[in-house]
Amino acid sequence: MLIRKLLLCLVILITSAINAQSNRSELYSTMSYYTSPGDSLSFSDVILKFKEGEFKSDKDFKIYQRLSNKEWWFHFPVENKNNSNSYKYLTLSYPYLSMGKVYYKKGEHIDSLHTTSYDKHFPFKFLFYRHPVWKIPIKDSQITEVFLKVKNDSSRARMEFHLEDENEFLKRLEIEYIFFGVFISLILSMVIILLYFSILKKEYSVIFYAIYVALMLIEFLAGKGLGIQFLWNDSIFLIHSSRSFSQTLGVFFIGLFYINFYRLEKQDKFSRNVFRIGTYITVPLILIYIYKSFFGGLTTYYLYVWIILKLIILSWFINHIYLTIKGRIPKYLIIGFSLPIIVLIIAQSINPSVNSNDVLVYGSINVYYLALIAEVLIFIRYIFSAVIASQKKYTELKKVTNELQLNFQKNILKSQEKERSKLLGNVHDSFGGYLEALKLRLLNKSENSPEKVKEILDSFDKEYRYLLNSLYSPKINSENFIENLIDFFDKINKLTNNPITHKFSLEESELPPEKCLHIYRIISELTTNAIKYSKASEIKVNISESKGKVIIVQVSDNGIGFDVNSTKKSSYGLNSIRERVEIMNGEFNIDSIKNSGTTITIRIPEK
């Protein structure tokens, strides 16, 4: 739909140029002009200059002229070919004309029409049109000599004239306003699409670009004179500054878009700062415009603003080239950014003559806005693709995260089930036997002595404390790791006749808290199992650190040993230790011989 509207704009533009071709050529072929070098001339003086032949003709008259605040007089004859009372519409296609006034002469009769200007005597006050228009009466077959007086403050003015009858005039207006309607609807469509997309996808930085596009529409209305005609003819500030002010705001918001939307990395800090500096520079410019809106003055301020904005755009253009080379943004984006700049430079460097191709004459003033539309379409394509790609990655990442979370929950449930099974086994193995023995003692009156009951209860209490110590998980880090291990051994030694001996050789080791807890649980599991099952008279725990930043944990006893192969699958305790070692990317080794003791060695990287 947007592309169709853009093509429609081109068709209307070409159609308008073709319709105006013969009209313009006929008018300029009879036109002559005179430039007053000094003070303002009276109309009688101008007539004298014309009779003296000081008006000159230029068959290759340029559309754009530098009036330089001088007084220019244009002359052309109007002939009534139909010999009927009618009117001719004289249009000067320049909405920002400082002053224009028409005089006409029939024989010796002299009359004048209204004075028009863009900021006081608005053109649409006389004829409802954005450009200065004069309705010249043509009543008989006598030739009407028309003199147009113009002055302009700015250095460059578009001296494009149209002399038409009423039907031609209205037809040209109809084509123009169709073009404007299509262009405005195209801009508004893109603004609505961008706003809807930003809210739908929760990509709120796109709103900055939508505001930029909306300000582009304000600049278009100001440049074409539509703003003065329809919207802000009662505001002196907007009449004089709407175009440059909207451009300044546009640079500010497009800068915010670059800063917040471009996916720049940490190493792109310089490029991000280029966008930031350019954006921040516009802030004081905007504040001065706000001051001007209240207090007036600063009539030439816009000239300095345009110089600053050109420098900002140039720095951003170079920055876009750099980011394209680095692969941060797609290559087609630099085409979109540079297209309006290149078109504007070319359009301002071309000054077509009245005999130039009509597409060139009319395209030079409108092609810039078509280039802006192309830029916006390219950026919209980039915005959509970037956001969709980003959200696709987010969806994939969320899916992976959900899978990991599900697996994590399954592992937690699995670990909980294992811990419950182990706890039940320990309770059953340790406490069940003692409860059964206590029951038999109490039922057997012949063997029901206090000493036997106390012996069973003491053993029951010892097993209970072993279980508590093995389940206890203190808050451990590298600073209190050794202290907690020693505290654990002290508690265990109070419950057994064969104390655990230990030796720690860790110097300035900085183990993460997770590894400290894993090693603590491994040692508590191994020592508790050795006490309960090995029947050892001696248990040793050594912890040391090798030169390669590897922690070596060794737990040994002189007990009865066990068959390593037969216990690999059935022992929950050993399997739990293996899992903890694997989590830490360590190595686990068991050396056990029956009736000759067991040595378990674990090697864990420090980081």
DSSP string, 226-247: HIIIII-TT-HHHHHHHHHHHH
User: What is the model's pLDDT at position 524?
Assistant: 80
Token pair belonging to 578: 């293996």
Token pair belonging to 422: 């182990």
AA letter at 253: F
Tell me: the pLDDT tens digits for 239-265? 888 888 999 999 999 999 999 888 888
* 409/412 Cα distance (integer angstroms): 5
User: What is the model's pLDDT at position 253?
Assistant: 94
φ and ψ at residue 242, rounded to 5 degrees: -60, -35
Question: What value does the mean pLDDT take over residues 300-318?
Answer: 90
Tell me: the pLDDT tens digits for 103-162? 988 878 888 888 888 877 777 777 778 888 898 888 777 788 899 998 887 667 888 888
User: What is the model's pLDDT at position 543?
Assistant: 87
Question: What value does the mean pLDDT take over residues 545-564?
Answer: 83
Question: What value does the mean pLDDT take over residues 369-377?
Answer: 86
Residue 12 confidence class, pLDDT cut points 50, 70, 90: very low
Q: Is the pLDDT of residue 282 over 90?
A: yes
* 147/411 Cα distance (integer angstroms): 95
AA letter at 58: D
* 239/225 Cα distance (integer angstroms): 9
Tell me: the pLDDT tens digits for 173-226? 888 888 888 888 889 998 999 999 888 888 888 899 999 999 999 988 988 888
pTM attached to this predicted model:
0.65
Tell me: the pLDDT tens digits for 401-413? 777 777 777 777 6
HEC string of 319-331 equals: HHHHHHHCCCCCH
Contact call for residues 470 and 423 (beta carbons, < 8 A): no
